Chain A
């Protein structure tokens, strides 16, 4: 029975549903809001610190990173909680699809739903902040390496807080400290002349992405016992 969960066709069906749920314009409530939020931060920053091109170019990369991190928190509210309430994971479990496996699909879908568009939105954001082409490239590469980790942290936190009242606010607070390593190395890559920061970001991301389905699946199972 349990092996059926690893049937690739069934996994694709699961992924298809998760994507339909999470992609902007899909059924999820978050939609494009995180992106607009992300762009709004990039737009507001020059108003707050003044339009000096030198200052903006020096700090803009870091602002994009912080905005990306905060934007990644927005979709967490409905990432797991809705399906937990609806009994989706119970029904999947009875069909031999473990919570961990469901979370692998959710992680892929969550990343696909927010990272590519975030990378795309980084281009206008970089233009608004007057970043050089070289800096923009490092930010983009850093985000490419860091977003899987952000998605993984988000998934773990969303699963942990899914059964709590007011879990969404708590999810935001819990995500930030867990995402700090990604931020340090990802944004830190901007200040270095070599690519070591990017590689470290990618390494952290991979480790988090590997752990996330196990942690999130365990959290869902624990939520059942309440």
Chain B
């Protein structure tokens, strides 16, 4: 898996406020980065810029390989059973693989409408959607929120496996995230 994620002198503005500036990073295959910082410092904004979903105020972000983003928004149809809702993305991603659903232990929940899922279950569903993309670059925004210990370990292990397989993983979280040989970027250092 070939992956690379670079950012050059990024700055991000939200409204009238400059959140961070002069941020550069370069992640090659197999590297993981943990973005830390207090609430509102711009972790989610950074991930959205890295994903190419929003434009930085200054600087440039480039990506090699497909990008997948996990954030607080589930992007699953609330009224549909989980299985059907995931099927839409599985169809678009062209995968018949049941592995993501099993890995996130969602097999028993496939008939449950998405709107009845708990916070942790929703997070697991979003993770299954992310696994299905087979993307090289993972951008995880608070992936451990609401997860129980077991699911937490699973997500950390999956991220480690992803990096070991040559992927790139960026985790934005104020919690600890146990992945070996990760780099840590404290966004407070770039605050203006």
Contact = CB atoms under 8 A, between A and B. Distances in A.
Contacts of B80: 27
Contacts of B152: none
B75 A91 contact: yes
Interface stretch (A82-90, A161-169, A192-200): A82-90
A13 B135 CA distance: 20
A91 B89 CA distance: 9
Interface residues of A, number: 20
Contact of B92 (A13, A27, A85): A13
Contacts of A95: 92-93, 133
B142 interface: no
B8 to A, nearest CB: 20
B51 interface: yes
Given A27-B79, A91-B89, A1 B66 contact: yes
B27 interface: no
Interface string A75-104: 000000000011110111111010000000
B116 interface: no
Given A10-B92, A95-B133, A87 B71 contact: yes
A189 B175 CA distance: 66
B68 A94 contact: yes
Interface in B67-111: 67-69, 71, 73-80, 88-89, 91-93
Interface of A: 1, 10, 13-14, 17, 21, 27, 85-88, 90-95, 97, 224-225
Interface of B: 48, 51-55, 66-69, 71, 73-80, 88-89, 91-93, 129, 133, 135
11 contacts: A27-B79, A86-B77, A87-B71, A91-B75, A91-B89, A94-B52, A94-B69, A95-B92, A97-B92, A224-B53, A225-B55
